Amino acid sequence: MQNQQIDNLDKNILNALIEDARTPYAELGKRFNVSPATIHVRIEKLKNAGIVKGTRLSIDSKQLGYDVCCFIGINLSSAGDYPSVIKELEEIEEVVEAYYTTGKYGIFIKIMCRSIDDLQWLLIEKIQSIDKIRATETLISLQNPINRTIKP
């Protein structure tokens, strides 16, 4: 996959939208001395290039009672088990991210759950019960002091 070339206006638009994705095109146009139509065209170009993949609502999971964040390294029985294990992990709503990795683990996942008791239940009943998972290692996150996206 080839990196996309973007100019300074594109970078400025992206940085502004990273700060607040709801910023109106008219406001961005004034800020960058171009028309709102130009902003619209540039954002569409960035979407079509695959640089912008949509907009998302950011939710504070702790406010919804999900107080436990952890990462689980998963060892597979064999590398070929990856697709079927991912399909099973997709069915577990507490799995919020998954990565196919090199090194000690074949898969590394992020879990959000309400309590340590819920985590224990998830591990035993849902994750470790997947046949093709050989072993897991759980790391509990104490805080998330850095949470950002890459700036262009």
Stretch 112-123: mean pLDDT, rounded? 97
Instruction: Catalogue all structural domains in the chain, each as residue range(s) with its CATH number.
Output: 8-48 (1.10.10.10), 61-141 (3.30.70.920)
pLDDT at 42 over 80: yes
CA of 12: how far to CAs of 6, 19, 43, 74, 150, in Å? 10, 11, 11, 39, 13
pTM beyond 0.75: yes
pLDDT tens string 70-90: 999 999 999 899 999 999 999
> Taking Cα atoms as reference points, which of 135, 122, 129 lies closest to residue 76?
135
| pLDDT the model gives residue 102 | 92
CA of 18: how far to CAs of 1, 30, 47, 60, in Å? 23, 18, 14, 17
| pLDDT the model gives residue 55 | 80
User: Rounded to a whole number, what is the largest CA-CA distance in the chain?
Assistant: 58
| pLDDT the model gives residue 1 | 43
User: Residue ranges of the alpha helices (H) in the chain?
Assistant: 8-19, 25-32, 36-48, 82-90, 116-121
